[in-house]
Amino acid sequence: MKSICFCFEVHQPFRFRKYRFFDIGNDHYYYDDYTNETYMHNIAEQCYLPANNVLLELIKKYKGTFKISFSITGAAIEQFSMYAPKVLESFKKLAKTGQVEFLSETYSHSLASIKNEELFAEQIKKHDDLIKEYFDVTPVFFKNTELIYNDRIGEFIATLGFRGMLTEGAKHILGWKSPDFLYCNVRNPRLKILLRNISLSDDLAYRFSNKDWNKYPLTAEKFVEWMTAEKKSEIINLFINYDSFWKRQPESSGIFDFLKKLPEVSLNSGKLKFATPSEVIDEYQPVSSVHVPNTISWADEERDLSAWLGNEMQDEAFNKLYALSDKMKMVKDKDMIRDWNYLQTSDHFYYMCTKVFSDGEIHDLFNPYESPYEAFINYMNILSDFTLRLDKFIPESNAEKIKNLEKLLEEKNKEIYNYTKKIEG
């Protein structure tokens, strides 16, 4: 019996308003409430609510045999409670069925995992506390922002007590291997790794309504046939962005009819069942470890970090932001902490991507900016203001101390750099 692991990512960033340089030092409110609220209303009406209803009905209908999981970010939950409490209620209903697993995430969908482990752990806890608060469950399975993963991140996640983690079944890490088995982290085999089946996931998320696709139209029967085609494989991880049921596959595409049909056809095949990630890691044995020395993600053709980092603007913004980490430790102010979290949301760096010029495909989702330059300047204006505010929170004597330590650190870094250079030759 093969397990289908059906997971959805639900995330909404707090989009920033147009923040001009002359606002720096004068106005400390950064959010575009109107856009955030309008966008949330639209997506709630057209995607979250109807899709949740369909899933809820299916769960009831197939009593205990249809299971799904969600990875909902803290930023999304906060916006539900601000703008669309109905959505929150509907997720609560799903939670109550006991057939839905909520995965762990970072609170603000941040990139902290590649920069600062302490912050990373903090944000995971903040997220999981929120999930506990609203859905009364504590996540045990981790899914990082945008499926970002490497061996070190996996090892660290294991130390936090998680038993499994989901990442991208990227071809360049798998080679000849199939994503449809259970794997484990290479440094700590206790951490089980699930890999997204790219092709089947994207059939649903991207190709479903594409009339030029040679497999169009996709029926539940066809899809089940594909899922069962490979006899030996054990797990199929379908991980898709929940928004796909709106922008790319609107209701008119027949996606909901497809979803309604899928459990029946799958279960009737006698070869498939539905399972949540934590059930899967209990049931199956890892076939091997997966070796990921370089960071992967599910973005673009490259499946790396280049959608968020790499061009000079992204790097400057990212480094200047995280340079504030130590100072932020001393701050207890609620507004400051809120802004600090939402400044870290990965979407802001995504908007600054200049690859858009060549790689438009995944970047076609809602972007409030006309250009990566506009996104960058807006972000930096806000960050400048935030930095000024932060300095006011730090006592003079401490600021001086930190400055000296920073200087020392910089000098040491230079030294290390020089020595490394010498060693390398």
Partner 1 sequence: MKVLMFGWEFPPHISGGLGTACYGLTKGLSQIGNVNVLFVVPKAYGDEDHSGISLMGANNVPINIKELYFPKSDKSINYIEVGSNLIPYVGEEEYLNLSEKKITDSNNPLKIKDGKFNFSGTYNNDLFDEIYKYSLVAKVIAKNNSFDIIHAHDWLTFPAGIAAKRISGKPLVIHVHATEFDRSGGKVNPRVFNIEKEGMKMADHIIAVSNLTRNIIIKKYGINPDKVSTVYNAVEPLNKTAKTKLKKGVSEKIVTFLGRITMQKGPEYFLEAASMVLKKMNGVRFVMAGSGDMMNAMVKRAAELKIADKIHFTGFLKGDEVTDMLHMSDVLVMPSVSEPFGIVPLEAMQSNVPVIISYQSGVSEVVKYALKVNFWNTTEMADAIYGLLNYPSIWRLIKREGKEEVDNLLWENSARNVREIYLKVLKKEQDNLPVKNKL
Of residues 282 and 312, the one with the C-beta less far from partner 1: 312
Which residues make up the interface to partner 1 (CB under 8 A)?
A: 18, 20-22, 24, 311-313, 315-317, 354, 357, 370-371, 373-374, 376-378, 380-381, 384
In the complex, least distance from residue 232 CB atom to partner 1, rounded to whole angstroms? 48
- Residue 209 or 354: the one with the smaller Cβ distance to partner 1 is 354
Q: Running DSSP on this structure, what letter comes out for residue 345?
A: B
Helix (H, G, I), strand (E, B) or coil at 2: strand
Give the chain's radius of gyration (CA, Å): 22
φ, ψ of residue 47 to 5 degrees: the values are: -130, -65
Catalytic residues: 146
Residue with structure tokens 């993963």? 149
Residue 357 CB, shortest distance to partner 1, in Å, is 5
Residue with tokens 């796909």: 244
Nearer to partner 1, 298 or 379 (CB): 379
Burial of 18 (0-12, 13-18, 19+ CB in 10 A): exposed
Helix (H, G, I), strand (E, B) or coil at 272: strand
The stretches of 47-116 forming alpha helices (DSSP H) are 49-61, 74-83, 85-96
Q: How far is the CB of 385 from partner 1 (least distance, A)?
A: 12
Comparison of 34 and 213: residue with beta carbon closer to partner 1: 34
Residues 111/73, Cβ–Cβ less than 8 Å: no
CB of 312 to partner 1, least distance (A): 4
Read off the DSSP letter of residue 126.
Answer: H
Rank residues 178 and 384 by Cβ distance to partner 1 and give the closer one: 384
Per the listing, tokens 């401490």 go with 398
CA 30, distance to chain mean position in Å, is: 23
What is the closest distance, in whole angstroms, from the C-beta atom of residue 326 to partner 1 in the complex? 22
